[in-house]
Structure 1
Amino acid sequence: MERLSDIGEDALIDRLVAGLPLGPDVVAGPGDDCAVIATHDPDRWELLKTDCLVEGVHFTTDTEPEKVGWKALCRSLSDIAAMGGDPRSALVTLAVPARRDLATVEGWYRGLRRAAERFGVSIVGGETSSLPDQLDTAFLSVTVTGTVWRERCLFRSGARNGDLIAVTGRLGGSFASGRHLDFVPRLREGAWLANADGFRPTAMMDLSDGLAKDLPRLAKASGDLGWRLDLDALPCHPGCDAAQAIGDGEDYELLMTLPPQFAENLLTAWETDFPDTSLTLIGEITPDIQTPLTGGWDHFKIDPA
């Protein structure tokens, strides 16, 4: 019997979405940070994204409840940022055992409300369900809608051979340090990049599963390209090394590619507008893989005993 752990997350998704119906209004379906839908608006597309937090996977019973709610919404907002979009509305689905204490659940919603108010999102509904008490777990699933200018939408599929690879912020140690619970999604930075005339990225995506998982996804989406990384250039958090920057995940930064002739102007403008957030060149897109990567987050990976 073939198990999910035998094929991994990416291969599972490829199997599940193969042959799914996609109408003529679908600009981008499964495989990018958000689904992109054409509407009657001649200037803007609609963005759709859903993400979930599972107790025991993304947080524990000891995690401060308000931080759980903050992360639940901000994970989806990070994907909106990767498309260069603006968030609009959210739906929240909650499943929890009936014996769970009310104060914890109310704390989750305080975090959701705080994030929604911070980033201008309307929480317009959702669903609640009970789980069997013996499961002793819970999950929150958040679906976010947004919009993006049609001519400015950034996809993960536009990288080209010779493009430089860049990343915002610093990488590594997010889960161990707790940064994954209070990160700020790069919405302002994503919109700025999407509207950067003269040096827009050719491709961009949310960096959540680690460079080891997400860079290959960007390269594959762009035509089965490869990459070369300068490991000494990786912007590591203090106390982290290159292996952690590549494999830890949960960074929620923006990973992008850009033509080399744009790099100097982009970095100069970035430093002016975002002096407190680094933008670092870490490598280049190549015809084949020159820097093998290991690590990253896979939901269906089982570590050998």
Structure 2
Amino acid sequence: MRLGLNIGTLGEFELIKRLTAHLPGRADVLLGVGDDCAVLDLQSEALLLTTCDSQVEGVHFTLQTSSPEQIGRKALAINLSDIAAMGGEPRYALISLILPPALPLSVLEGIYAGLRAEATRFNTALVGGNVAGTGQAAQLIIDITLLGTVERGHVLMRSGAQVGDILFVTGTPGDSAAGFYTLLHPDPAYPARAQEVVRQRHRTPNPRVHEGRILSQLGTNVVTAMLDISDGLSGDLEHLCTRSQVGALIEAERLPLSPALRAIAAHTLRDPLDWALHGGEDYELLFTVAPGSEQLVSEAVQSATGTPVTPIGVILPAPDGMKVRYSNQREERLASKSWDHLKASLERPAAEK
């Protein structure tokens, strides 16, 4: 009997493509699979955004490297980032917990303290969910569904980038990957302040909800496409290029590398560009801007939020693919090293993301 491919060999994105190829639709589903959120039209003034995400103990977090409150905050922040990536406002969250019977109550109470803190920060109501047991399994799983809204005509998708648009990023990508590296490879000689900064960026990411709202209000003729960096800048750029049917060029020397990232990279003798280009879980916004609007966008976001936004490249025709140009003007193909939940479980240690 031939069993064929297993899902680990197939990979996350090919699996999603197969499972969603023939799903039934409805006229009020404006956007289903393929972006950070689904976009639904309920015939009101605003469109409804929906997203969900699961966090699995030993895969996405461990109780040895994060506190329960940090785990709760991050679980909700990841979903908030999806709403931010569409330019939306988060509203309601449902929390489903799959609990091992031996889990101490104090751990669960700490996770809920983190969930409440993050929800309060972004004016999000926790309105329900579900509780189930794991049976004999020992892994805690947190699954969150988040609903939000965005004004008609202002939803930002991955599919709007045009040749000549300028590629921007918020904040400093790569910090989370550096923080995770220090957790996997403890060393008392790490620069203390740098270690603290990058670990915080990994444990409690800052979803760019306010920044996303500013960008969406500028209009889709100014900000043409957007998504968040969850799988790594190179991987998520590939998602944007695929949906928009374009290529892209990144100027390596323009990538905004934080002093903390540079310090950890120098200590470990690693290339900080590798973390910035391919490290995941930054939850920064990667977006494209119509040429001529760069200053307008930068000033609008920074004046309202204090978050730096940096132009890092340009959108190219699709046949050019994805490229990176270094300071010596050497160009090479930019390989996508996107996180894949299913393949990674076969190749990388548990809790490595």
TM-score (norm 2): 0.81
85-94 vs 294-303, greater mean Cα deviation: 294-303
* 1:28 and 2:31 correspond: yes
**Per-residue CA distance 1:166-220 (angstroms, 9 max, x = gap):** 0000011304233132122111110001002597310001111101210000111
User: What letter is aligned with 1:247?
Assistant: H
Structure 1 CA distance for aligned equivalents of residues 291 and 144 of structure 2: 37
Which position in structure 2 is the counterpart of 1:250?
281
Contact 2:238 2:336 in 1 (8 A): no
Secondary structure of the equivalent of 1:261? coil
Contact 2:153 2:220 in 1 (8 A): no
Which position in structure 2 is the counterpart of 1:60?
62
Report matched runs for 1:124-273 at 5 Å: 124-133=127-136, 135-175=137-177, 176=180, 177-178=198-199, 179-196=201-218, 200-223=222-245, 225-237=246-258, 238-239=261-262, 240=265, 241-273=272-304
**Per-residue CA distance 1:269-297 (angstroms, 9 max, x = gap):** 3333333x210111111112141224231
Contact 2:86 2:156 in 1 (8 A): yes
Structure 2 CA distance for aligned equivalents of residues 198 and 27 of structure 1: 16
Contiguous gaps of at least 5 residues in structure 1: none
Contact 1:246 1:293 in 2 (8 A): no
Contact 1:169 1:235 in 2 (8 A): yes
Contact 1:67 1:182 in 2 (8 A): yes
Structure 1 CA distance for aligned equivalents of residues 336 and 150 of structure 2: 34
Secondary structure of the equivalent of 2:335? coil
Which position in structure 2 is the counterpart of 1:299?
341
User: What letter is aligned with 1:150?
Assistant: R
**Per-residue CA distance 1:109-159 (angstroms, 9 max, x = gap):** 1111111111111111100011123x2211100101111001111111101
2-11 vs 254-263, greater mean Cα deviation: 2-11
User: What letter is aligned with 1:226?
Assistant: G
Which position in structure 2 is the counterpart of 1:122?
125
Q: Could you tell me which of 105, 109, 112 is aligned with 1:106?
A: 109
Contact 1:201 1:256 in 2 (8 A): yes
Structure 1 CA distance for aligned equivalents of residues 281 and 299 of structure 2: 28
RMSD between superposed Cα atoms in Å: 1.7
Contact 1:59 1:68 in 2 (8 A): yes
Runs of 4+ residues over 6 Å off in structure 1: none
**Deviation, structure 1 residue 163:** 1.0
**Per-residue CA distance 1:214-256 (angstroms, 9 max, x = gap):** 0000111112x21111111111233251111111110000010
**Per-residue CA distance 1:57-91 (angstroms, 9 max, x = gap):** 11102220011111111111101011111111110
Q: Could you tell me which of 26, 40, 43 is aligned with 1:40?
A: 43
**Deviation, structure 1 residue 3:** 2.2
Which position in structure 2 is the counterpart of 1:279?
309
Residue-pair matches, total = 301
Structure 1 CA distance for aligned equivalents of residues 149 and 74 of structure 2: 21
Contiguous gaps of at least 5 residues in structure 2: 181-197, 266-271, 324-333
Secondary structure of the equivalent of 2:276? helix
